[in-house]
Amino acid sequence: MEISMQNAYDEEMKRLADTFTEIDRQLQELASIPPYTGHDHTEQVLDSIRDSRRRNLAVAQSEPYFGRLDFQESGHKEPLPLYIGKVGVEKDLTLELMVVDWRAPVASLFYSYTGGLDATQYDSPDGLVEGLVFLKRNLVIRKQILQRVVDTFDRNGDNMAVTDEFLLYRLGENKDNKLRDIVSTIQSEQDSIIRAVKNSALLIQGVAGSGKTTVALHRLAYLLYQYRDQVRAERMIIFAPNRMFLDYISGVLPELGVGDIQQTTFSDWALELLEHEVKLIDTSEQLRYWFQTGPGRPVMNDAAPGRWKGSIKFMQWLEQALEQFEASAAPHADYSPWDGVKLSKQTMRQWYEVEYKHDPLMKRRERVMARVKRWQEMELEKVWEVHLKKDYKKKASSRLRDYAKHWTAYTPFTFYKELFQTAGKPDYLSVELYNEIPKELLASTEAHLKKKRVQPEDLAALLFIRSKFQGIHGDLTFDHTVIDEAQDFSPFQVALLNLHTRNQSFTILGDLSQGIHAYQGIRKWDEFTALFEEGKTAYFQLDRSYRSTMEIIYFANEVLKLGLDQPAALAIPVFRSGDPVQIVRVDEAKLITSIITAVQKLQTGEISTVAILVRTEARSEALYKKLNAAGLSVNLIAAGQQHYEGGISIVPTFMAKGLEFDAVLIIDVDDVHYPATEQDAKLLYVGCTRALHSLQIWYDGTASPLVDPIQGDFVIR
Ligand SMILES: Nc1ncnc2c1ncn2[C@@H]1O[C@H](COP(=O)(O)OP(=O)(O)OP(=O)(O)O)[C@@H](O)[C@H]1O
Q: List pLDDT tens digits, range 322-348.
A: 999 998 888 888 999 998 899 999 999
Whether the CB of 549 sits within 6 Å of ligand 1: no
**What confidence tens digit (pLDDT) does each residue in 288-312 have?**
778 888 777 887 777 788 899 999 9
DSSP labels, 41-87: HHHHHHHHHHHHHHHHHHHHHH---SEEEEEEETT-SS-EEEEEESS
pLDDT at 285: 78
Query: pLDDT-based confidence at 161, cuts 50/70/90?
Result: confident
Nearest CA to ligand 1 atom 19: 211
Closest CA to 218 of 177, 265, 185: 185
Ligand 1: centre distance to CA 131 (Å): 31
**What confidence tens digit (pLDDT) does each residue in 364-408 have?**
999 999 999 999 999 999 888 888 889 999 989 999 999 888 888
What value, to the nearest 5°, has the Cα angle with vertex 558 and ends 552 and 563?
A: 130
Burial track 177-210 (b if 16+ CB lie within 10 A, e otherwise): bebebbbbbbbebbbebbbbebebbbbbbbbbbb
DSSP labels, 463-529: HHHHHHHH---GGG-BSEEEETTGGGS-HHHHHHHHHHBGGG-EEEEE-GGG---TTTS-SSTHHHH
pLDDT at 237: 97
Long-range contacts: 618-627, Cβ < 8 Å, 24+? 618/288, 619/668, 620/650, 620/651, 620/652, 623/591, 623/592, 623/595, 623/650, 623/667, 624/650, 626/592, 627/592, 627/595, 627/596
Helix (H), strand (E) at residue 663 = strand 661-666
Instruction: In whole angstroms, give the CA distance from residue 341 to residue 319.
Output: 38
Helix (H), strand (E) at residue 1 = none
More confident residue, 667 or 293: 667
Residue type, 621: E
Beta bridge partners of 71: 80, 133
Mutate to test the pocket of ligand 1, among 167, 204, 214 (most ligand atoms within 8 A of CB): 214
Q: Of the ranges 20-24, 123-127, 161-165, which one carries the lowest mean pLDDT score?
A: 161-165
**What confidence tens digit (pLDDT) does each residue in 103-121 have?**
999 999 999 998 888 899 9
Contact 369, 405 (CB under 8 A): no
Mean pLDDT of the chain: 92
pLDDT at 134: 94
pLDDT at 444: 92
**How confident is the model over 146-160, as a mean pLDDT?**
86
pLDDT at 696: 98
**What confidence tens digit (pLDDT) does each residue in 225-283 have?**
999 999 999 999 999 998 989 999 998 998 898 888 999 999 999 999 999 899 998 87
**What confidence tens digit (pLDDT) does each residue in 525-546 have?**
999 999 999 889 999 999 999 9
pLDDT at 296: 76
**How confident is the model over 424-429, as a mean pLDDT?**
92
For the chain, percent of residues with pLDDT exceeding 90? 70
Query: pLDDT-based confidence at 137, cuts 50/70/90?
Result: very high
Tell me if 212 is assigned to a ligand binding site. Answer: yes
**How confident is the model over 411-440, as a mean pLDDT?**
94
**How confident is the model over 455-463, as a mean pLDDT?**
96
Instruction: In whole angstroms, give the CA distance from residue 385 to residue 395.
Output: 15
Nearest CA to ligand 1 atom 26: 208
What value, to the nearest 5°, has the Cα angle with vertex 643 and ends 642 and 644?
A: 140
Nearest CA to ligand 1 atom 16: 211
pLDDT at 469: 95
Whether the CB of 184 sits within 6 Å of ligand 1: no
Burial track 20-42 (b if 16+ CB lie within 10 A, e otherwise): bebbeebbeeeeeeeebeeeeee
Ligand 1: centre distance to CA 544 (Å): 10
pLDDT at 332: 81
Nearest CA to ligand 1 atom 6: 546
What is the pTM for the complete model shown?
0.92
More confident residue, 114 or 219: 219
Please give the number of the atom of ligand 1 that sits closest to the Cα of 208: 26
Prediction ipTM score? 0.99
**What confidence tens digit (pLDDT) does each residue in 489-528 have?**
999 999 999 999 999 999 999 999 998 887 888 989 999 9
pLDDT at 56: 87
Q: Are strands 691-699 and 661-666 parallel, antiparallel or unpaired?
A: parallel
Query: pLDDT-based confidence at 93, cuts 50/70/90?
Result: low
Closest CA to 529 of 513, 518, 540: 540
Mutate to test the pocket of ligand 1, among 110, 193, 205, 213 (most ligand atoms within 8 A of CB): 213
Tell me if 545 is assigned to a ligand binding site. Answer: no
Contact 580, 244 (CB under 8 A): no
pLDDT at 129: 94
Whether the CB of 170 sits within 6 Å of ligand 1: yes
Nearest CA to ligand 1 atom 3: 185
Contact 101, 218 (CB under 8 A): no
Whether the CB of 396 sits within 6 Å of ligand 1: no
Contact 611, 635 (CB under 8 A): no
Mutate to test the pocket of ligand 1, among 190, 547, 662 (most ligand atoms within 8 A of CB): 547
CA dist 161 to 154, 155, 157, 158, 169, Å? 9, 10, 10, 9, 17
**How confident is the model over 417-439, as a mean pLDDT?**
94
SS3 611: strand
Instruction: In whole angstroms, give the CA distance from residue 631 to residue 615.
Output: 23
Contact 681, 706 (CB under 8 A): yes
Tell me if 213 is assigned to a ligand binding site. Answer: yes
Instruction: In whole angstroms, give the CA distance from residue 426 to residue 445.
Output: 16
State CA 479 to chain mean position distance. 15
pLDDT above 60: residue 1? no
Instruction: In whole angstroms, give the CA distance from residue 517 to residue 293.
Output: 15
Instruction: In whole angstroms, give the CA distance from residue 12 to residue 74.
Output: 26
How many Cα atoms are found within 13 Å in the side-chain-facing hemisphere of 368?
31
Nearest CA to ligand 1 atom 15: 211
Contact 281, 453 (CB under 8 A): yes
Percent of residues in the chain assigned helix, strand, coil, to nearest 5:
45, 20, 40
Nearest CA to ligand 1 atom 30: 211
More confident residue, 171 or 511: 511
pLDDT above 70: residue 621? yes
Whether the CB of 112 sits within 6 Å of ligand 1: no
Closest CA to 497 of 512, 484, 513: 484
Nearest CA to ligand 1 atom 28: 547
Give backbone dihedrals phi and psi of 557, rounded to 5 degrees, phi first.
-60, -40
pLDDT at 55: 87
Whether the CB of 493 sits within 6 Å of ligand 1: no
**What confidence tens digit (pLDDT) does each residue in 443-453 have?**
999 999 999 99
Tell me if 211 is assigned to a ligand binding site. Answer: yes
pLDDT at 5: 77
Closest CA to 517 of 691, 613, 653, 614: 653
Ligand 1: centre distance to CA 370 (Å): 56
CA dist 122 to 254, 318, 591, Å? 28, 48, 57
Ligand 1: centre distance to CA 659 (Å): 10
Instruction: In whole angstroms, give the CA distance from residue 560 to residue 395.
Output: 74
**What confidence tens digit (pLDDT) does each residue in 274-284 have?**
998 999 988 77
Whether the CB of 193 sits within 6 Å of ligand 1: no
Whether the CB of 210 sits within 6 Å of ligand 1: yes
pLDDT at 482: 98
Please give the number of the atom of ligand 1 that sits closest to the Cα of 690: 26
Contact 697, 707 (CB under 8 A): yes
